[in-house]
Amino acid sequence: MKASNVTVLMDEITDLSPVERRAEGQSGGTYEYDYLLLAAGVQTSFFGRPEWEAHTLGLKTLAEAQSIRRRVLSNLEKAELTNCDKDRRRLMTVAIAGGGPTGVELAGAFTDLVHRSLRDDFRRIDTSKLRVVLLEGSDRLLGSFGKKQSEYAFKRLEELGVEILTGTMVADVTKGCVHLADGSTVEAAAIIWAAGTEANPLTSQLGVPLADRAGRVTPEEDLSIRGFPEIFVGGDLACLTDSQDKPVPGVAPAATQMGRHVAKVLKEENRLEKTRFRGQKLKLRPRFRYFDKGIMAIVGKNAAVVLSGKWALTGFIAWLAWLFIHILFLVGFRNKLSVLLGWAFAYVRDAPDTRIIVNRPD
């Protein structure tokens, strides 16, 4: 680490005391602070139905992504073993709740899985018959994108064999079954919940009103908390609008810009603190200004949607832009080169190795 005055501790903050300027860690440690930047991210929201968590798989961490992979591959192995047609159909069904970027990208990825990666790996089942059902409560997919891009994603996923149900609300989730508001059901051995998020519960300990049901906080213009100028919030925990009065999205570029803004504020205040005894007064903190770099989502191989300012791209060009941006933000030249070569080899070979299950589920 280049910064000698930075210490990284692997701990989880469980309690905050804003008045006393103290944070408590899960390990039992106590951390006193002069400034606090709270950017703890979000967790999966089940809209007041926490019992659904036991029957679904989330996608907020790398560990959860590995669990999804493990569950789907294990279900295919079980389908290869069973002689019961009903069980085989259930094991070869994946239900995805949520038609935002996460749900759309997952649906496209699963079609790649069965049509490219696993097409020759099984003998007793036809992996192309893997049923992927995408459930969305609103009237279209990718609600944060333009209408034409939503329509493109819908058409593209249908061409890939994904069953899409828009305007469909989930009424209940039980083991292996999604119950819809219209009375119908979808039986699936893998149910993935990508329908909602909520802020880390730490926001409720800040002593300020929450901005929405997701538990986010509306900060001051400089990203500090009203009444606690030494506490800042950033990333998915902040509920604010940009210069055009549009909500700042919960995406990595926005969080990065917030982090840089807070660092700039703290650096300037530290400099002024050292010189104020020579007659220099503390200035007003600058306002955070968000620069919208756009949003994107991949829709299977060779297809994506990109929305950046006046640019609204779809198809292969958007897919290339998606690849370029993701490689660009990798840390280190070695990682960028390794990923680029790996992707190029997988693209040319068109049959990436996939049938690897680590830590088989119970």
> Considering the entire predicted model, what is its pTM?
0.87
Give tens-digit pLDDT for 184-194.
999 999 999 99
C-alpha–C-alpha distance, residues 254 and 240, integer Å: 11
Average pLDDT estimate for 20-39: 95
Give tens-digit pLDDT for 97-125.
999 999 999 999 988 888 777 777 888 99
Would you state the structure tokens that stand for residue 310, as one six-digit string? Answer: 């006046």
C-alpha–C-alpha distance, residues 155 and 149, integer Å: 10
Give tens-digit pLDDT for 300-322.
889 999 998 888 999 999 999 98
Q: Where are the alpha helices (DSSP H) in 101-221?
A: 101-112, 147-159
Residue 12: pLDDT over 70: yes
Would you state the structure tokens that stand for residue 313, as one six-digit string? Answer: 């791209």
Residue numbers annotated as active site: 105
User: Could you tell me the domains of the chain?
Assistant: 13-43+198-278 (3.50.50.60), 50-197 (3.50.50.100)
Residues in a beta bridge with 42: 199
C-alpha–C-alpha distance, residues 227 and 178, integer Å: 45
Cβ-proximal residues to 337 (8 Å cutoff; 6+ apart), any chain: none
**Per residue, what are the HEC states of 18-68?**
CCCCEEEECCCCEEECCCEEECCCEEECCCCCHHHHHHCECCCCHHHHHHH
Listed residue (241, 230, 233, 229) closest to 204, CA to CA: 233
